[in-house]
Amino acid sequence: MVKRYRSYLSIILFLAIMLLSGCGKDGDDVSAISGITTTVIKETTIDNTTTTIIDSTIPTGPKETTDTSNNTSNIELQTTDNIQQITTIETSTVPGITTTKNSEYITTTALQITTAANKSHRNITVLIPEASGRLVQSMNGYNIDYSNTNKGYIMVQNTTGITTYIWLIKDGVTVQFKMQGSGYEAYPLSKGNGAYTIRVLQIGANGQGFDMNTLNFNVNMDNTNNPFLYANLYVNYNRSSVAVNKSYELCFEGDSAATIVNNIYNFVASNIAYDYTKAGQITSGSLNNYIPSPDNTLAAGKGICSDYASLMATMLRTQGIPCKMVYGYINGGETYHAWNQIYYDGAWHLYDACIKSTGGTASSYAADKEY
């Protein structure tokens, strides 16, 4: 009987030792001792559902960084491999133990919001000339629509397919254009209010010009800056132009006109390289009557002086800021060149994005034509 009790006692003692030593438990299990706080890292399977318990605090709020180059702030939603982790706090059934469990995974795309001091972008103003048909003079295959001279432009259509030039004459000064196609083309009335003459000259095989349609008309604009707010042959864009949309991206509500001008000026000068190959083609005569395209200039990332000036004029006109594309001479007549005159704060200001881009200098400017 004594031996039997001793055997029972040995078994009870053995089991007590095993229990106190933690034998038979997983090493990652929580402590069973009340008052001890632990964090559990473990995968368990309950009802065929795997739960992962993690030892981390997952940032879910936005992180803001500031880009000082353009005074914009970029707000990104932090993610891990494009997986947004949403956490919940659950209290363990073991007293004193709190665990943070990753309860849900949601696939997401990183959110990118661009602002400038919490301001919204300015609305663009796209003024496109139109042949309204109210006042038209048709002759010898050429249609002159002068319905909108009060808005600062006149339109001409060439239906002959023959090389044709347009002469706009005011106060004895002639501005010449070469027609480009068969549709209506807009020409700016850049000499202000007053009496104009337009001559449509068809060029014959011998190079002589034949007057095919001539019109005298008076111009009375409500704003003499109107010619430099509309698109035309040399500052050619529409509502879907890339250059128009880029202007929208660069300009914000509340910005002064001077700030808008400098934003666009610095963008053009910094992102367009000078195209020495095209310049050589024009100098050699292999490229004649070159007409700039603002969208092509942006796509290529390079251009000559007229490309810089046309792009600047496009981006500023769509912001409602009058901008001239000017051809003329610099450095005392040494070089024929193109630049911009921009109207703000009650005066015209000269900007030359081409010179700024190349690091060159110009000691003087003498205007010849304004578009």
Asked, for residue 21, whether it belongs to a domain, the answer is: no
- Average pLDDT score over the chain: 77
Residue partners of 352: CB distance under 8 A and separation at least 6: 308, 337, 339, 340, 362, 365
Asked, for residue 279, whether it belongs to a domain, the answer is: yes
* Overall domain count for the chain: 3
C-alpha span between 307 and 282 (Å, rounded): 13
Q: Is the domain of 354 the same as that of 287?
A: yes
For residue 127, what are the β-bridge partners?
Answer: 230
Helix axes 257-271, 305-317, angle to 10 degrees: 150
Confidence grade of residue 11 (pLDDT, cut at 50, 70, 90):
low
Residue at 266: amino acid letter: N
> What DSSP character marks residue 109?
-
DSSP symbols for 111-124: -EEEEBTTBPBPPP
- Give the residue from 51, 85, 118 where a domain finishes: 118
Asked, for residue 14, whether it belongs to a domain, the answer is: no
**Is the alpha carbon torsion for 150, 260, 359, 302 positive or negative?**
negative
The encoded tokens of residue 20 equal: 């106190």
DSSP symbols for 352-369: -HHHHHHT---S-EEEEE
Q: Is the domain of 362 the same as that of 248?
A: yes
Query: Residue 300 has what pLDDT?
Result: 97
Query: Residue 274 has what pLDDT?
Result: 97
Domain residue limits at 348? 242-370
Q: Is the domain of 168 the same as that of 253?
A: no
C-alpha span between 142 and 134 (Å, rounded): 16
Query: Residue 212 has what pLDDT?
Result: 97
Asked, for residue 31, whether it belongs to a domain, the answer is: no
For residue 292, give the CATH number of its domain: 3.10.620.30
For residue 198, give the CATH number of its domain: 2.60.40.10
Query: Residue 14 has what pLDDT?
Result: 56
Query: Residue 150 has what pLDDT?
Result: 97
Please compute the mean of the pLDDT values over residues 177-194 and round it to a whole number: 94
Asked, for residue 44, whether it belongs to a domain, the answer is: yes
Q: Is the domain of 249 the same as that of 361?
A: yes
